[in-house]
Amino acid sequence: DSGVTQTPKHLITATGQRVTLRCSPRSGDLSVYWYQQSLDQGLQFLIQYYNGEERAKGNILERFSAQQFPDLHSELNLSSLELGDSALYFCASSVAGGFGYTFGSGTRLTVV
Amino acid sequence: GESVGLHLPTLSVQEGDNSIINCAYSNSASDYFIWYKQESGKGPQFIIDIRSNMDKRQGQRVTVLLNKTVKHLSLQIAATQPGDSAVYFCAENRASDNAGNMLTFGGGTRLMVKP
């Protein structure tokens, strides 16, 4: 157990639907990062939150949004889902810059 | 743009041999580097890291080498075992960002260990 908790582990939904992925960071970590990993692809950075505020944005679609709550857990909202959104979505947390991330086990999203 | 990349997409080695996985980075401002291991269906797992004021760092069966002159990073795995089979990612960061700067990941190298 890495200390980063992601739910659900698996999600199957239809095109056009909206889903919410949840992440609880490791205790003491203030930064939360969301990454997307498509089949046999690398990790694509989506967005970062630090202590409740958006810190950096990557290649995140306008259909996707995220937030970090006062208790530091984060949610990634994916709407108007398309088949191409099927992927593994990872959450990671870190204390601050200059340290590695701790990754969760991911949510596997399948859009049918 | 600046990025982190990998030379070899797939590496096949015999069990017991040493493995070397290479990575090139282009951002001269990077001062912190990490190697992650990702097994199928799992999240990336931290293996070893190195800061830019070091050239070499050793862990258990793993060694990371950093050559800042040519912006090159390598991961050496000694006596490779079947359990080492996975995709390995290098990543870089800038430690100066106190809020936590995003890691930039390379494309990954798949290590296959033959029994």
CB contact under 8 A, A45 and B102: yes
Q: pLDDT confidence of B40, banded at 50, 70, 90? A: confident
Per CB-CB distance under 8 Å, the chain B contacts of A104 are 43
Q: Is the pLDDT of residue B6 over 60?
A: no
- Mean residue pLDDT of chain A comes to 92
Q: Is the pLDDT of residue A39 over 80?
A: no
How close, in Å, is residue B57 to chain A by CA atoms? 15
| Any B CB within 8 A of A83 CB | no
C-alpha closest to that of A81 among A4, A13, A26, A3: A13
Secondary structure letter of residue B71 according to DSSP: T
Option in A58, A96, A108 nearest B99 (CB): A96
Q: pLDDT confidence of B107, banded at 50, 70, 90? A: confident
**Residue A84, SS3 per DSSP:** helix
Taking the C-alpha atoms of residue A42 and residue A34, their distance in angstroms, rounded to an integer, is 13
- Mean residue pLDDT of chain B comes to 86
Per CB-CB distance under 8 Å, the chain B contacts of A45 are 102-105
Question: What does each C-alpha distance from A80 to A23, A54, A65, A88, A111 come to in angstroms?
Answer: 21, 22, 12, 17, 11
Q: pLDDT confidence of B44, banded at 50, 70, 90? A: very high
Q: Is the pLDDT of residue A24 over 60?
A: yes
Top-confidence range, B2-11, B18-27, B52-61: B52-61
Instruction: Give pLDDT, residue B96.
Output: 54
**Cα A14–chain centre separation:** 20
Taking the C-alpha atoms of residue A29 and residue A35, their distance in angstroms, rounded to an integer, is 17
Determine contact, residues B5/B108, Cβ cutoff 8 Å. Answer: no
Size of interface A-B (CB pairs under 8 A): 80
Determine contact, residues A108/A95, Cβ cutoff 8 Å. Answer: no
Structure tokens at A73: 């857990």
How close, in Å, is residue B1 to chain A by CA atoms? 13
Q: Is the pLDDT of residue A25 over 60?
A: yes
Q: Is the pLDDT of residue B4 over 50?
A: no
Q: pLDDT confidence of A96, banded at 50, 70, 90? A: low
Q: Is the pLDDT of residue B8 over 50?
A: no
| Any A CB within 8 A of B102 CB | yes
